[in-house]
Amino acid sequence: MSPNSILTVSNLVKRFGGFTALDGLSFHIVPGEILGLVGPNGSGKTTAINVTSGLYAPDGGVVTFEGHDIGGAASHKLVHRGINRTFQVPKPFLSLTVRENVAVALAYGGAAASAPTIDALLTEYRLIELADRPAADLNSAQQKLLDLTRALATSPRLLLLDELAAGFNPTELDWIAERIKALAARGMAIIVVEHLMGFIEHITDRVIVMNAGKEIFEGKLAEAIRQPQVIEVFLGGEHAA
């Protein structure tokens, strides 16, 4: 565990009725790092993001952000502290315009005084042409970018990206990868949940492989795919030998 960690998660437990989605998960991330969370469907990646962003209260364990225990704090308070996220299925304010979507976050997200303007953000994320259209007019990829822009408007220091890359073509993926790396280069800690392994390998410094709510491997993705226990959860036991 690094003393410089911006986020430290220890022994996190989250249950839904009889199902244990997170079963003693621990990890940390330092500023400027891009950490990948990978694992099969149902392994608890999105639940980890949801607990960290305040959507669910943990049933056990500790979540510490910049030295403060944030377990169970309301989402909007975590946003003000400097955490934000995108959603696997983008969730824009459909009847508001693209510009208004970002304006709400800029007004209420506790953004730093140095935060970029709406137009600068929309230009950077290729939405400026659509600024005055309702978000409902956007395609799924554009809605994902709007989700990201809205999150960035609150000047987060920890950004959680839940399957942002799905739905983009290869050229767009390269562009998004560069944007994410640029954000990290400015000191933002970024956790990426993703199924696209090429994308993950390209942008992350380190990955946590999860299965059944637990970490089964931590390190470089290139090493992960050589580990028998990782191969087993992705492909089944007979391939592990």
Q: Which residues bind other proteins (CB under 8 A)?
A: 53-55, 74-76, 79-80, 84-85, 87, 91-96, 100-101, 103-105, 107-110, 147, 150-151, 153-154
User: How many other CB atoms sit within 10 Å of the CB of residue 86?
Assistant: 25
CB of 49 within 8 A of CB of 14?
A: no
Spatial separation of the C-alpha atoms in residues 32 and 20, rounded to whole Å: 31
28 vs 150 by CB, closer to other proteins: 150
Annotate 23-36 with b (16+ C-beta within 10 A) or e (fewer): bebbbbbbbbbbbb
Least Å distance between CB 228 and other proteins? Answer: 39
Among 37, 72, 46, which Cα is nearest to 58's? 72
Alpha carbon distance 53, 28 (integer Å): 15
Cβ at position 219, least distance to other proteins in Å: 31
Minimum gap (Å) between residue 91 Cβ and other proteins: 4
Nearer to other proteins, 122 or 173 (CB): 122
Closer residue to other proteins (CB): 79 or 192: 79
Q: How far is the CB of 146 from other proteins (least distance, A)?
A: 10
Task: For other proteins, give the closer residue by CB, 115 or 240.
Answer: 115
Using DSSP's 3-state secondary structure scheme, residue 73 falls into: coil
